[in-house]
């Protein structure tokens, strides 16, 4: 899929970032003659997910970073540390790039839909049937891109057709967020009504990494849950979130993979498992350093010195908050804990080695994070915690561990590791949350959804009750709400969901401050490695700023406090 080049669109920055111009390296009137050619153009709409400004870097890693689970490497504001610590301005180039990338993706979707609609009547009946699916996919992708725009930027222009992209800058108007959500809802509901379940598709020849009914409904549930939360707080959407998620959960087409670790092996080797992966950004480009390659496992991977791994080097600047790991209940039994973080690194001399060593009882000892947590362990010393204040990295994307030799890319910045945008586990937890918020109680279905996720995490049969993994019976609504939120932080750790979860729960700033205070208790040096706590402002950083370039040209209204 990633080898396809979408050659019909080139962004021009002549005036407003929203303004696009359509060029054709081939004349679409002569090219778009059948379903095969339509599919080629559709893949370009998918390919937009893999832009630096979207899931290749900015929305997966950079802007998702400053939370209570992670932070950027270092203790000073240099380069990308400004963006990763909420210390940037409305003139920031990374913000501008993300804004442009999302509108470029929307233009691609609009252009594809309009072009195909104009030509479909000339196709054979079999081709028209395929193209109805392609139009549904394009509308779902347009819904995804608008969802990212509205939840990251707030008041954004709603560009519904390509001709609107040619307006003068001052003709673009910001839509109310409710109107954008309604537009997203219409696109996703249309797509869900057309696309089949992944295991019932007899029309599309290749469905790998392509949207199905389950993926669209799962995304719709996430949209409703975000709409129900801060800042819009339309609580009527909780029932709709529960309804959309229930269809995915109850129809039996999706399930959790048996082994949590399989997810990361699959992502590292381009293995499509539609049972759980509902929407995935594909960066697979083996043996080649192409624009299709991504940054996953490099920027957020295990720290690796030059020449120490088959991929040569990992920057590894995405660092884990030690307090997040130390506060993980049941960590000794929950297999996700140890699989989620690396208290090790790679060096040229020693390969995989400890972050810190100590001499205990006369022997050189590899100090694990668990030893640093336990001040009752033999030889325990507070200084062990200092190294763990700033050196722990995620390990879900340990490319040395998971990427097979034939798939390695020897590049300091790029990998072919895929990125999960939406997993079935996410939908299960959204289902539990939405049911409880809609009903004001804790129904059995909600508890079972959470318990399935926990059982798999504990290495047990997800379909069998477990005294070890299941939540206690009879939890109050508030206790269950807390449990679901905690479970999301564990199951989806470092996968780009935490910041937006905290924002929709209305506790982003408060959580950052609590984490900062906890860091002082962890080790006296820890706070200086949490730069984001010094710059995060309540009522400001729940949104990114509208790019200053577009404020000036289009006369848009800026987001609060920017």
CA 260 vs. chain centroid, Å, equals: 17
Q: Which CATH code fits 9-211+545-554?
A: 1.25.40.890
Are 438 and 242 a contacting pair, CB within 8 Å?
A: yes
- Given this model, what pLDDT does residue 21 score? 46
Rounded average pLDDT over 489-514 = 98
- Given this model, what pLDDT does residue 249 score? 98
Partners of 364 in beta bridges:
359
Neighbours of 205 (CB within 10 A): 9
Does 288 score more than 60 pLDDT? no
Calculate the average pLDDT of the chain: 93
Does 9 score more than 50 pLDDT? no
Quote the pTM value. 0.94
Does 462 score more than 60 pLDDT? yes
CA angle 92, 94, 96 (to 5 degrees): 70
pLDDT in tens, 42-85: 999 999 999 999 999 999 999 999 999 999 999 999 889 999 99
- Given this model, what pLDDT does residue 24 score? 34
Does 219 score more than 90 pLDDT? yes
- Given this model, what pLDDT does residue 3 score? 31
Going by their DSSP bridges, the two strands 419-423 and 277-281 should be labelled as antiparallel
User: Considering only CA atoms, which of 349, 391, 399 is closest in space to residue 368?
Assistant: 391
Q: Residue 222 half-sphere exposure, CB side, CA atoms within 13 Å?
A: 25
Neighbours of 188 (CB within 10 A): 28
Domain residue limits, the chain = 9-211+545-554, 318-416
CA distance 383 to 279: 43
- Given this model, what pLDDT does residue 304 score? 96
Joined tokens for residue 482: 């807390």
Q: Where residue 263 falls among pLDDT bands split at 50, 70, 90? A: very high
């Amino acid at each position: 899929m990633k080898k396809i080049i979408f050659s019909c669109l080139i962004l021009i920055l002549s005036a407003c970032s929203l303004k696009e111009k359509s060029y054709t390296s081939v004349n679409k009137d002569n090219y778009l003659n059948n379903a095969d050619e339509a599919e080629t153009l559709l893949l370009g709409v998918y390919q937009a997910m893999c832009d630096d400004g979207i899931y290749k870097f900015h929305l997966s890693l950079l802007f998702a970073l400053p939370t209570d689970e992670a932070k950027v490497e270092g203790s000073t504001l240099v380069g990308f540390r400004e963006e990763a610590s909420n210390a940037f301005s409305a003139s920031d180039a990374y913000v501008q790039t993300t804004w442009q990338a999302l509108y470029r993706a929307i233009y691609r979707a609009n252009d594809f839909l309009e072009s195909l609609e104009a030509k479909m009547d000339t196709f054979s009946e079999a081709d028209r049937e395929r193209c109805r699916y392609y139009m549904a996919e394009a509308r779902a992708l347009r819904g995804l891109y608008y969802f990212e725009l509205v939840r990251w930027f707030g008041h954004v222009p709603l560009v519904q057709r390509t001709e609107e992209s040619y307006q003068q800058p001052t003709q673009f108007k910001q839509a109310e967020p409710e109107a954008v959500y309604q537009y997203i809802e219409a696109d996703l509901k249309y797509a869900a009504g057309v696309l089949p379940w992944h295991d019932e598709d007899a029309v599309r020849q290749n469905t790998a990494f392509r949207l199905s009914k389950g993926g669209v409904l799962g995304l719709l549930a996430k949209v409703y849950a975000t709409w129900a939360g801060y800042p819009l707080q339309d609580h009527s959407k909780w029932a709709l979130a529960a309804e959309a998620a229930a269809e995915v959960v109850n129809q039996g087409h999706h399930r959790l993979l048996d082994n949590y670790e399989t997810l990361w092996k699959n992502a590292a080797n381009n293995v499509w498992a539609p049972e759980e992966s509902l929407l995935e950004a594909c960066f697979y480009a083996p043996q080649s350093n192409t624009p299709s390659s991504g940054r996953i496992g490099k920027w957020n991977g295990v720290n690796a010195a030059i020449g120490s791994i088959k991929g040569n080097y990992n920057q590894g600047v995405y660092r884990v908050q030690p307090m997040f790991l130390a506060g993980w209940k049941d960590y000794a039994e929950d297999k996700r804990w140890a699989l989620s973080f690396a208290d090790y690194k790679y060096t040229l001399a020693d390969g995989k080695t400890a972050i810190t060593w100590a001499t205990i009882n006369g022997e050189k000892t590899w100090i694990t994070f668990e030893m640093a947590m336990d001040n009752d362990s033999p030889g325990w010393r507070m200084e062990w915690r200092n190294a763990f204040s700033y050196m722990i990295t995620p390990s879900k994307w340990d490319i040395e561990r998971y990427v097979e030799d034939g798939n390695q890319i020897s590049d300091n910045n790029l990998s072919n590791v895929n990125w999960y945008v939406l997993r079935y586990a996410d939908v299960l937890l959204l289902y539990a949350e939405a049911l409880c918020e809609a009903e004001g109680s804790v129904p059995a279905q909600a508890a079972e959804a959470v318990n399935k996720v926990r059982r798999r995490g504990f290495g047990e049969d997800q379909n069998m009750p477990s005294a070890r993994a299941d939540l206690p019976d009879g939890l109050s609504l508030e206790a269950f709400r807390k449990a679901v939120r905690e479970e999301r932080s564990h199951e989806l750790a470092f996968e780009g969901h935490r910041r937006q979860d905290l924002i929709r729960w209305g506790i982003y700033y408060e959580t950052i401050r609590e984490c900062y205070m906890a860091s002082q208790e962890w080790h006296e040096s820890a706070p200086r490695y949490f730069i984001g706590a010094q710059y995060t402002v309540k009522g400001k950083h729940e949104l990114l700023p509208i790019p200053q370039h577009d404020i000036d040209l289009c006369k848009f209204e800026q987001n609060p406090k920017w």
